[in-house]
Amino acid sequence: MSVMSPTLTPAFANGWRKLPNELKLEIFSNVLPHNQTFDIGILSDASRQSKSPTAEDPTDIQLLWLFLEHPEFRDLAIAVFVKTNEFRVKVFSKGRERPLRSLCAHVQYLCINTWASCSAWDWLASYAKYTNYYYKSLRRVKVVIDGLRHSMDPPKFQERAATTGPIVFEAETLKVGYWGWRQKLGSAFDIAELRELVASNLMARKAL
């Protein structure tokens, strides 16, 4: 099921097609959100079939997908919404939350929220392979390691990260954030050691 694409009147279509592309992009920039952060699920098939925005995401889903599926507006919607916004992925996210493959190739900014556990590190390694296969235009990947998760086990996490091969994302840059570690473990925890370990086992490289 997809959003119905309305037929443009000849007068509108002719007038629209005469506009310069820069003006079209400016118009779309005033209609669709850009330079913001959204859950990656907004680009999924489940989102495409939804009828209304959620409390967490007030975006007009129907309007977004109308543009993404209309042949006259698709490229503009991708340029404004998909290419400029950052999309957030949560560790162990379900398959139904994954974006349509036709849109993956246009995502440029990805933020992955995970935590310090062996299972989460293994998931991240697997997700990196998935990302490198489907996301062909990544400019920046951010990985945020949540230190407040009750299941976090820093010693085992550090051991797993140190003994497995490096996790590589095919992107121009990679940023790593550490959230809540001081609150959870106090000043005695050597976060500098963690940063050094992660930096040597989590990296970005440009796709060939």
pLDDT of res. 20: 93
Report the alpha-carbon distance of residue 49 to residue 37 in Å, rounded. 21
Residue 1: predicted pLDDT: 38
Alpha helices, DSSP H, located in the chain: 10-18, 21-29, 45-49, 61-69, 74-77, 101-104, 118-134, 154-163, 181-185, 191-201
**If you ran DSSP here, which 8-state letter would residue 37 be given?**
E
Contacts of 158 (CB under 8 A, 6+ apart): 193, 194, 197
Shortest CA distance to 158 belongs to which of 110, 130, 126, 192?
192
3-state secondary structure of 66: helix
Q: Which of the listed ranges 57-61, 175-179, 181-185, 204-208 does the model predict with the highest average pLDDT?
A: 175-179
* pLDDT tens per residue, range 8-31: 777 777 778 789 999 999 999 999
Q: How confident is the model at residue 67 (pLDDT cuts 50, 70, 90)?
A: very high
* Token digits of residue 76: 């503009």
DSSP H or E segment with residue 35: none
- What is the pLDDT at residue 16? 81
**Candidate ranges 1-5, 61-65, 189-193, 195-199; pick with highest mean pLDDT:** 61-65
66: Cα separation from own chain's centroid: 21
The confidence score (pLDDT) of residue 84 equals 97
Tokens of 14: 């002719």
> What pLDDT, on a 0 to 100 scale, did the predictor assign at position 110?
97
Task: Specify which of 74-83, 184-193, 195-204 reaches the highest per-range mean pLDDT.
Answer: 74-83
Please return the burial class of 70, using the count of CB atoms within 10 Å of its CB with bins 0-12, 13-18 and 19+.
middle
Q: What is the tens place of the pLDDT at every residue in 151-163?
A: 666 678 778 888 8
pTM equals: 0.85
Q: How do residues 131-176 score in pLDDT, each as one tens digit?
A: 999 999 999 999 998 877 656 666 787 788 888 879 999 999 999 9
